[in-house]
Chains A and B, each alone.
Chain A
Amino acid sequence: MQVYMDNNATTMVDPAVVEAMLPFFSEQYGNPNSLHKFGTASHPAIARAIDQVYAAISASDDDDIVFTSCATESNNWVLKSVWIDKILHGEKNHIITTEVEHPSVLSTCKFLEEQGVNVTYLPVNEQGVVDAQMLRSFITDKTALVSVMWANNETGMIFPIKEIGEICKEKGVLFHTDGVQAVGKIPVDVQAVHVDFMSMSAHKFHGPKGIGALYIRNGQALSPLLNGGEHMGGRRSGTLNVPYIVGMGKALEMATVNIEEKMASISAKRDRLEDALLKLIPDTFTVGERDHRTPNTILISIRGVEGEGMLWDLNNAAIGASTGSACASEDLEANTVMLAIGADHELAHTGIRLSLSRYTTDEEVDYVIDHFKTAVERLRSISSSYAKVKPTPGGEATACEMH
């Protein structure tokens, strides 16, 4: 058996989505901007996909939802265009975001800092979320934009988007949310919360990679990131990626129909997995209260077991998981989200993220429980940190100062 538990990274494309996409690769391949029948033949499918996306997040007909290549593009678009529109050619010079955003937000903010923009990176509390009232205290007359993710990719923690949106509306500040980890997993209603912009990506909810969208509230101006023709109403040029747009619409519809029921099913499996791991393996803990997490996510920390070593053993058991901790990534740093929530550095090197999907089965959960325990036991038997040994005659281990 092999088990995929890395659904916050990407998801399997649903077979029904593939089926919906297929005709637009080989049969209805015309450019939808062409006047002839080959092009216009795809119009009904595009229109349907647009309807599906609008309906999934309760957007109004007057809002714009523009297809992009991914959420990274959407995030870059908002941040860089606000810089151009409101900062470079305006009176403002300040952006607020958080320390735990996706790199497509953080790296873009770093780039904007180099261009002279002031950026405030808000810390998160012990639950891994920002405090909306703290955010309020950082908004000034110079603030052009607040960018706060809807749910965190590593912990699954859901941020107080409604409260933040109200504060931004009250203060007259634009509000962008990276909705990548929320859309398709929990109910997202842009009428019920005030967001000006929201990024999303199809491959997070069983759609294809390479297609995303940006929600733009009615009336909000935003300079295009890609200039060219007049595609997407001039908002985003480039020939429409018809099969992927169709796939995204279908995937989002499938993810959001009866979403409460799907959430209950996934969270039941997630909770069973989490309970079993915490019960069977001593000295482990998980991050964030379940009720405030996306229903599929567990970030578990295992005392004495370094993240990459654990990932290695899980991979040997054909279990795909993930870690943002040291040695699994190029920069070798400890898990930044774990550090942000106040975990010590040792624990921040031990986090393993397990993320389920609606296709995760009970058998797969049982398999992960068994092999997770086996891996922890093996690695703890090697671990100098977890070894039950006498104090060393040579004194204390060398300390290392982390940045």
Chain B
Amino acid sequence: MAKNDLFGASLWDEYSNKVTTLMNNPQHQGEITEEEAAANGNKLIVADFGAESCGDAVRLYWEVNPETDVIENSKFKSFGCGTAIASSDMMTQLCLGKTVDEAVKITNIDVEMALRDTPDVPAVPPQKMHCSVMAYDVIKKAAGLYKGVDAESFEEEIIVCECARVSLSTLKEVIKLNDLSTVEQVTDYTKAGGFCKSCIKPGGHEAREYYLVDILADVRREMDEEKMKAAAEAGLGGDFEAMTLVQKIKAIDAVVDDNIRQFLIMDGGNMEVIDVKDGEEYIDVYIRYLGACSGCASSSTGTLYAIEAALKEKLSDKIRVLPI
């Protein structure tokens, strides 16, 4: 939080002038009838998206020239807030004069950009971006109806954040490449989850198929598994500091078995590893002496030094051995 966050601005203050103007006077609001389209020799397409129960719904009308596939007339009706009405109006404007194949490439980002007064200033506050997403989806629906295909066939990838149009594969790649561990980091790197926030976790404005928290957890799990697998394959030659606790204890035991334990047993003693704790400066290995070692005078001097030296040499310079 900072000075500018201490006092929340009105949502309306963050609307661009274009949003305000189109909300007050939408240019393409209305309907197109079968008769009107037929009189022009065109095909009428009517597509609905959203639902009143979600707070946003839109109906898109297209009059398409069947010979050229050009959208010659376009109108909309919308149930929603100012952003939804302005986005629907701009979306309708952007469709005009384009072929259906060209129109299907219009995204909610294009709609939002077209609503900006200046290129660098968003047209709407972050939480309202979802209202422009509806415009993207209804175009796909209309194109699907015109071409007789499912609207989802226009979507090549699974989109997790519709506001920022970030795909599942992009998210997985960015998390792995940058070793991201929090949702905030994912948002900083990709913008996913930075707008209406529905995709972050369940309980937002609308239910989603994928949530960032789950994707992050899954990818982190995959990364850990890969790391463990790599460590296992590398055996003791692997990165000790990157090992899990169990791997560390096993590695320490292996070094002790190979280099130390035989000498302790010869003198009637032994040792066991109690715990391993990672610190910033040291990796502390807690051991307990058994048998003759537990009362031996050199257990805190020469023997201890020999154990620590062997572990440092074989595993990590950061190791510190602490008898308890």
Contact = CB atoms under 8 A, between A and B. Distances in A.
Contact of A403 (B48, B77, B202): B202
A35 interface: no
Contacts of B54: 326, 345, 400, 402
Interface in A304-321: 304, 306-309, 312, 315-316
A231 to B, nearest CB: 27
A309 B81 contact: yes
A399 interface: yes
B46 A312 contact: no
Given A327-B83, A332-B205, A399 B51 contact: yes
Interface stretch (B96-104, B108-116, B125-133, B181-189): B125-133
A238 to B, nearest CB: 21
Contacts of A334: 55
B29 interface: yes
Nearest to A310: B81
A381 interface: yes
Given A334-B55, A397-B50, A316 B24 contact: yes
A333 interface: yes
A15 to B, nearest CB: 27
A316 B145 CA distance: 38
A349 B127 CA distance: 16
Contacts of A402: 53-54, 206-207
B133 to A, nearest CB: 12
Contacts of B31: 387, 389
Contact of A304 (B49, B59, B79): B79
A384 interface: yes
Nearest to B202: A403
Contact of A394 (B48, B52, B127, B202): B48
Contacts of A397: 48-51, 57
Interface string B18-48: 0000011010010100000000000011111
Contact of A332 (B24, B50, B78, B127): B127
Contact of B46 (A349, A386, A393, A401): A393
A306 B84 CA distance: 10
A381 B78 CA distance: 9
A306 B202 contact: no
A386 B203 CA distance: 28
Given A308-B82, A316-B24, A400-B207, A385 B49 contact: no
B209 to A, nearest CB: 11
A403 B46 contact: no
Contacts of A346: 51-53
A382 interface: yes
A315 B79 CA distance: 19
B53 A344 contact: yes
Interface residues of B, number: 48
B122 interface: no
Contact of B51 (A312, A383, A393, A400): A400
B248 interface: no
A309 B24 contact: no
Contacts of A345: 52-55
A101 B30 CA distance: 41
B169 to A, nearest CB: 24
Contacts of B130: 332
Interface residues of A, number: 41
A403 B207 contact: yes
A9 to B, nearest CB: 13
A331 interface: yes
Contact of B47 (A332, A392, A401): A392
B26 to A, nearest CB: 6
Given A384-B57, A385-B57, A394 B81 contact: no
B204 interface: yes
A220 interface: no
B320 interface: no
B26 A312 contact: no
Given A332-B205, A394-B47, A401-B206, A381 B24 contact: no
A340 to B, nearest CB: 16
A306 B80 contact: yes
Contact of A325 (B55, B78, B127): B55
B59 A400 contact: no
B85 interface: yes
A383 B29 CA distance: 9
A394 B26 CA distance: 24
A26 interface: no
B53 A381 contact: no
Contacts of B46: 392-394
Nearest to B33: A390
Given A312-B12, A384-B59, A387-B31, A399 B53 contact: yes
A383 B48 contact: no
B77 to A, nearest CB: 4
A396 B46 CA distance: 11
A327 B53 contact: no
A402 to B, nearest CB: 6
Given A332-B196, A384-B79, A389 B131 contact: no
Given A327-B80, A327-B131, A389-B59, A398 B51 contact: yes
Contacts of B48: 384, 392, 394-398
Contacts of B57: 384-385, 397
A309 to B, nearest CB: 6
A325 B55 CA distance: 9
A98 B214 CA distance: 31
Given A308-B81, A393-B46, A394-B45, A387 B205 contact: no
A330 interface: yes
A67 B205 CA distance: 38
Contacts of B171: none
A395 B49 CA distance: 10
Contacts of A349: 52-53, 55
A308 B81 CA distance: 5
Interface in A354-403: 381-387, 389, 392-403
A301 B196 CA distance: 25
5 contacts: A330-B127, A332-B196, A382-B26, A389-B77, A392-B59
Interface of A: 304, 306-309, 312, 315-316, 325-328, 330-334, 344-346, 349, 381-387, 389, 392-403
Interface of B: 11-12, 23-24, 26, 29, 31, 44-59, 76-85, 127-128, 130-131, 137, 141-142, 145, 196, 202-207
10 smallest CB-CB distances across A and B, nearest first, come from: A345-B53, A326-B55, A327-B81, A346-B52, A400-B54, A384-B77, A308-B81, A397-B48, A385-B79, A384-B59
